[in-house]
Structure 1
């Protein structure tokens, strides 16, 4: 192989690795958000677990995090405003990235 091919393969591998880490961080962030929202809604046990799953799967509706925001905003109407939800989303994403990077 040429050095160009080696560099191309290295970039492709790095891209795949970074995408995998981002996916893991997104899923972990959504799980944390689901736990937070479940607590605000007074859900516990199996009910909380089911709710957390709905928050995680809400992220598959479209690219980006707006689908998760809409889910949380609709569910937490009157319990948390937009600023609170978005701040919690940012906080959870920072923590999720920290955890995923620490594990890799």
Structure 2
């Protein structure tokens, strides 16, 4: 294999790794957002965990965050505005990325 092939394979592997880490961070952030929203809804324990899983699943409806925003904002109905949900997610994303980098589940 040539040096060029080695470099190409390394770039492809790095890209795949970076995409996987981004996906995990987004899922972790959605879980954290779901747990936050569950608290506002008065859910605890297994109910809160189940709601967080619903939020994670909502992210698969379409690309981007809007599907999660619609779900959480719709469920919170007056407990938090869409802007508050958006701000909370923005605040949670760096924490989620740090958790993933530190290999926390």
Does TM, normalized by the shorter one, top 0.5?
yes
Residue of structure 1 equivalent to 2:19: 19
| Offset, 1:26 | 0.8
TM-score by length of 2: 0.93
Query: What does 1:73-84 correspond to in 2, within 5 Å?
Result: 73-84=73-84
Deviations 1:53-98 (A, max 9, x none): 1001001111111111111110111000122111101011111011
Query: What does 1:32-71 correspond to in 2, within 5 Å?
Result: 32-71=32-71
Q: Show structure 1 runs of 4+ deviating over 2 A.
A: none
**Equivalent-residue separation in structure 2 for 1:49 and 1:96 (angstroms):** 16
TM-score by length of 1: 0.94
Residue of structure 2 equivalent to 1:28: 28
Query: Mind listing any 5+ residue stretches in structure 2 that lack a counterpart?
Result: none
**Equivalent-residue separation in structure 1 for 2:100 and 2:46 (angstroms):** 26
**Equivalent-residue separation in structure 2 for 1:48 and 1:95 (angstroms):** 19
Residue of structure 2 equivalent to 1:100: 100
